[in-house]
Structure 1
Amino acid sequence: MKNPKLIYIYLLVIHAAIAVLVFILPFTSKIYALSICAFGLIYIVKNKNKNNEVLIMSAYVITVEVFLRMTNGAILNEFGKYAVILFMFIGIIYSGFSNRAFIYWIFFILLIPSVILSVFSLNMDTDIRKAIVFNISGPVCLGISSIYCFQRRITFDRLKVVITALALPLVSIAAYLFMYSPSVKDVVRGTDSNFATSGGFGPNQVSTILGLGIFVFFVQLLLNSKSKLLIAVNGFLVLVFAFRGIVTFSRGGVMTGIVMIVLLLIVLYKQGNVKSKAKVGLVIILTFLAGVGVWGYSSMQTSGLINKRYANQDAAGREKKSKLSGREVLIASEFQMFLDNPILGVGVGKNKEIREEETGIEAASHNEITRMMAEHGTLGIIDLLILLFTPLLFFVNNRQNVFVLSFWAFWLLTINHAAMRLAAPAFIYALALLSVQINIPEKPEHSLD
């Protein structure tokens, strides 16, 4: 079959069918996870990563990760990060990396002192390996992904294929959510984050990936729909992901998706000609109207409770004391740890122990910025500055990657409310470092020169 339009539609249907199969036969989720690993390795090795197959498989993994977690199919708790690290490592073996990626080697080096410190500072009854891996796997995944992607040449069309790879498992997630809780009205009782509308998994993480889904299918609609059928399908999926994201009652992911879309439209408007600007203006108006419609439908389905959630009220309409669902307590404790240990921090994984000892709160960090400050001290701040400014400086000379600001914003906003629980922020951040070519480059796509 050579018709790209039909291939895309069939792939969407297949991934919806996968969700149905897993819902009926839960054990197939683990088979699915193993199949992804096997296929990914064969696909990359067979093609020797000549066309950045690593990016295709990594994109697929970061969105399928949530589906596997909510269906108990993840082979390991950090399955997504391990898979991306493995794929990226293989990609580096085949295609090398830019000498100018040294800034991310510095990022890695600055992580080491606090890792060593944690070996000696963590309590004896703590699983040291698990505590370190839980907190450091995200930065490691981000670092190796960034080294692979930094100034790697790729065509814009190939980047759109990467975005399509992100899209496919998202359909499985949406289909599963509708089967898990077909009636939102029946499961919404308050204004707290809702596990029932999140497939029984963490609403924060589900909201994160659904927010990414809003953006991904918006991109598909705007830049990858060359027929009325594709416009209808992708437009419908944008609305589906907006609705399911809203009714998780976890605000971070939805707001992040909206910011990503706004930034993309701003970039397209700024870089477009008069005709393109008129089209972007029309898209903005239609997007706003669609957003109002989805919000109104969500409000009806939740009997108005979603309005109270975003107004930071409880079901009775009383304003909640905490505006960040209690995260400000974690942030304050981590900031104090930084002030007490400003050079090397308290060590990787130690902040959870200190917080429990001093406040009685047993909770892992939800904010990667304050976690880095608490656990890595000043070295962590330097690492954060590297991550914050490198993509922005790169964007100045790489305007053809119109997604840079959107990808960067996804990483920054996600790590502020969901830390790096998922592989998604690490990989999406790295995509902002690609050197995108609208025209086909003379050298192979994986060239770094």
Structure 2
Amino acid sequence: MIKSLIQNKYPLVWIILHLILGFTATITPYVLIAWFYFVILSSLSHVLKKNKSPFILISLLLYLVSFELLSRMARTSPFIPYELGKYLLAAGAIWGIFNFKTRGYSGIVMLVCLLPSLFIDLSGQVQRSDVVFNLLGAVNVALVCWFFYKQNFSSEELGKVVRLMVYPILGILSYTFIKTPDFEEVEFVLGANVDLSGGFGSNQVSTLFGLGTLLVFILIISRQTFSGNFILDIAILFALSFQGLLTFSRGGMIGAVLGVMIILFFLRRASPLVRRKYHLPNVGKYVIPLILVGILSFVVVDQITNGLLSLRYQGETMGTIQGSKVKTLNTISTGRFDIFMGDVNLWLDHFVFGVGAGASRFLRESLTGTIAHVELSRLLAESGFLGLIYFVILSWLGVKLFRGQSNPLIKGILIALYIVAMYTTFHAAMRTYVTPSLLGLSLLAVKTSKKPKPKVRKKHSLKALEPIAS
């Protein structure tokens, strides 16, 4: 099945299938469960046999983990684990490390940096679920840095993996659309709206819609259409951005805009010679329709919410509008800044090894009991100086991306994936599959696919054209 999905001979069929999966998930979880295990069982033979390239494994892995949020929404646990992305990414990356050549040795150092926090608990309240929830995301990032680093992919293969990651997001789109009540019944406020995110965590839903928006844009700008039809791709882009804006959770949509701007930056600064060499797309041809889609979706949602969307993206709250609160970095970040500073203070008190995995929320003076939304501060508080080393290594891997890749489009895409992955850690930590997946893709050694040379028609001689004498 994974090969059929990769080949994408019938894109409309796959799009409709995944929309149906989201629709049926609003009624019963068993259709989604059946599809999930059918894909696994029908693809195992391709994964288990010896392959020179990890392309099939990575394709299957990133397709399956992209069902993480939809499976949570459909309540498929324990058949599909609640922490699907964390378990599956860890298992797949470990399998890849033992079966393929790997050069990401910095990932090993990152793993070592996390080990001491497993044996420390200064709060005395950490349970096993707390460790999994807080630490396994960082472990996955280290594993993908080890496994994905410099694996050889063509730009066409990268596009195929990106397409696979979009399909399950379409399931979330249809699920959310069905679950969204009539707008007249919704009381819009200056805060994240659970009612308009399918009854689930709006931050996670917004993150996935932002990711889907960015990935579809990548396919369009690299001329690997998602559906096979440009107009339909634009419609899907509008639907993803529209639903993402409706959640009123800003992180995911800001991430999408950030990724798009990075790709366009590298395309715009390419010289005419480089443009011709790599057959770069005409930016205006693609960007103008996409910008119009973004503006249209924002304007429509802003009108539906009576202007509250604009205020939300300006960092306003009901308190700041009424004058009972002053707009500060903490109110703009919805409390994340106070959590960040609380974790930093814990780090200063326990500089070397930190307070232990999952313990910071019990010991923090500000917003005690609230889980960290910023991975950097969590790493510092719970892993101490080793957490800082972990983050420095991760940052250095990103810096190296600026020195590689001569193709501006591929360079822009890889850097956009990396920066969006890192940005996500500052509003959703490493609790979803988004950060490790995008980081892994950004570390691949992607080469420009060689376009087949046009066939030259042979000129027939006049003699060959003469009728045969009878």
Higher relative contact order by CA 8 Å / sep ≥ 6: 1 or 2? 1
Q: Distance in 1 between matches of 2:283 and 2:39?
A: 37
Aligned equivalent of 1:220: 219
Decide whether the 8 Å contact of 1:351 with 1:374 is kept in 2. yes
Unaligned runs of 5+ in 1: 442-449
Match of 2:429 in 1: 419
- State yes or no: 1:195 paired with 2:207: no
CA shift, 1:423, in A, is 1.5
Matched, 1:143 2:146: no
Deviation for aligned residue 1:16 = 0.7
Residue among 291, 307, 313 paired with 1:288: 291
Aligned AA (1:109)? V
Deviation at 1:36, TM superposition (A): 4.7
Are 1:194 and 1:250, in contact at CA under 8 Å, matched by a contact in 2? yes
RMSD: 2.6
Q: Structure 2 CA distance, aligned partners of 1:172 and 1:49?
A: 32
- Who is 1:383 aligned against? 390
CA shift at 1:227, angstroms?
10
- Alpha-carbon distance between aligned partners in 2 of 1:369 and 1:2, rounded to the nearest angstrom: 36
Q: Report SS of the residue matched to 2:153.
A: strand
Gaps of 5+ in 2: 452-470
User: Residue 31 of structure 1: CA displacement?
Assistant: 3.6
| 2:93 equivalent to 1:88 | yes
1:79 is aligned to 84
Listed one character per residue, the Cα deviations across residues 381-423 of structure 1 (whole Å, up to 9, x for unaligned) are 1110110121321441234433221111111110000001101
2:347: which partner in 1?
338
1:106 to 109, 118, 123: 109
Q: Is the 8 A contact 1:193 1:248 kept in 2?
A: yes
Q: Map 1:364-443; keep pairs closer than 5 Å.
A: 364-400=371-407, 401-402=410-411, 403-439=413-449
Give the aligned length: 433
Percentage identity across aligned positions? 23
Q: 1:360 and 1:92, CA in 2 relative to 1: closer, same or farther beyond 3 A?
A: closer
Q: What are the equivalent positions in structure 2 for 1:244-255 lying under 5 Å apart?
A: 244-255=243-254
The Cα offsets for residues 336-377 of structure 1, whole Å up to 9 and x where unpaired, read as: 00111111111111101102xx45632111110110111111
> Which residue identity does 2:416 align to in structure 1?
S
TM-score (normalised: structure 2): 0.85
Larger helix percent: 1
Q: Structure 1 residues 182 and 37, CA, compared in 2 at 3 Å: closer, same or farther?
A: farther
**TM-score in terms of structure 1 length:** 0.89
Within 5 Å, give how 1:206-245 maps onto structure 2: 206-225=205-224, 230-245=229-244
1:153 is aligned to 152
Q: Deviations over 1:257-280 (max 9, x none)?
A: 100011111122334635767821
Q: Which residue of 1 aligns with 2:20?
A: 17
Q: Which amino acid aligns with 1:21?
A: T
Shift of residue 26, structure 1, vs aligned partner: 3.3
Larger-gyration structure (1/2): 2
Q: Contact 1:312/1:323 (CA < 8 Å) preserved in 2?
A: yes
The amino acid across from 2:360 in the alignment is N
With over 3 angstroms needed to count, the CA separation of the structure-2 counterparts of 1:172 and 1:67, relative to structure 1, is: same
Aligned partner of 1:165 in structure 2 is 164
State how far apart, in whole Å, the 2-side matches of 1:408 and 1:2 are.
25
Name which of structure 1's ranges 49-58 and 383-392 shifts more when overlaid on structure 2.
49-58
Following TM superposition, by how much is the alpha carbon of 1:134 offset from its aligned partner in structure 2, in angstroms? 1.5
